[in-house]
Amino acid sequence: MTKQILILQGDGIGPEIMAEAVKVLNLANQKFDLGFELSSGELGGASYDKYGVPLADETLERARKADAVLLGAVGGPNWDTIDPALRPERGLLKIRSELGLFGNLRPAILYPQLADSSTLKPEVVSGLDILIVRELTGGIYFGQPREKRVLENGERQAYDTLPYSESEIRRIAKVGFDMAMVRNKKLCSVDKANVLASSQLWREVVEEVAKDYPDVELSHMYVDNCAMQLVRAPKQFDVIVTDNMFGDILSDQASMLTGSIGMLPSASLDVNGKGMYEPCHGSAPDIAGQGIANPLATILSVSMMLRYSFAQTKAADAIEQAVSLVLDQGLRTGDIYSEGCRKVGTVEMGDAVAEALKNL
Ligand code: IPM
Ligand code: MG
141 is catalytic: yes
Transcribe 195-206 into DSSP letters: T-HHHHHHHHHH
**Residue 250 · residue 230 · CB < 8 Å:** yes
**Which three-class secondary structure state does DSSP give residue 301?**
helix
> Are residues 107 and 189 both part of a single domain?
yes
Report the distance separating Cα 227 and Cα 146, nearest Å.
27
Regarding the beta carbon of 92 and ligand 1, being less than 6 Å apart is answered yes
Q: What CATH number does the domain containing 159 carry?
A: 3.40.718.10
- Binding-site annotation, residues for Mg(2+): 224, 248, 252
Distance 141 CA to ligand 1 centre (A): 10
> Are residues 251 and 278 both part of a single domain?
no
Distance 248 CA to ligand 1 centre (A): 7
Read off the pLDDT of residues 30-65 as tens digits, 9 standing for 90 and up: 999 999 999 999 999 999 999 999 999 999 999 999
Out of 221, 253, 269, pick the residue that ends a domain. Answer: 269
Total of domains in the chain = 2
> Are residues 119 and 32 both part of a single domain?
no
**Which three-class secondary structure state does DSSP give residue 345?**
coil
Out of 203, 236, 269, pick the residue that ends a domain. Answer: 269
Report the distance separating Cα 228 and Cα 222, nearest Å.
10
pTM of the model: 0.96
Read off the pLDDT of residues 138-196 as tens digits, 9 standing for 90 and up: 999 999 999 999 999 999 999 999 999 999 999 999 999 999 999 999 999 999 999 99
Burial classification of residue 54, based on how many CB atoms lie within 10 Å of its CB (0-12 exposed, 13-18 middle, 19 or more buried): buried
Residue 12: give the domain boundaries.
Answer: 1-101+273-360
> Are residues 122 and 243 both part of a single domain?
yes
Has residue 331 got a pLDDT over 90?
yes
- Pick from 310, 300, 277, 311: nearest CA to 357: 300
Bridge partners for 135 per DSSP: 103
User: Is the previous residue joined to 145 through a cis bond, with omega within 30 degrees of 0?
Assistant: yes
| Ligand number with the minimum distance to the CA of 266 | 1
> Are residues 227 and 347 both part of a single domain?
no
Query: Which mutation among 242, 248, 268, 278 tests ligand 1's pocket best, with the greatest number of atoms within 8 A of CB?
Result: 248
224 is catalytic: yes
Report the distance separating Cα 289 and Cα 280, nearest Å.
19
- Identify the pLDDT of residue 246: 98
> Are residues 121 and 260 both part of a single domain?
yes
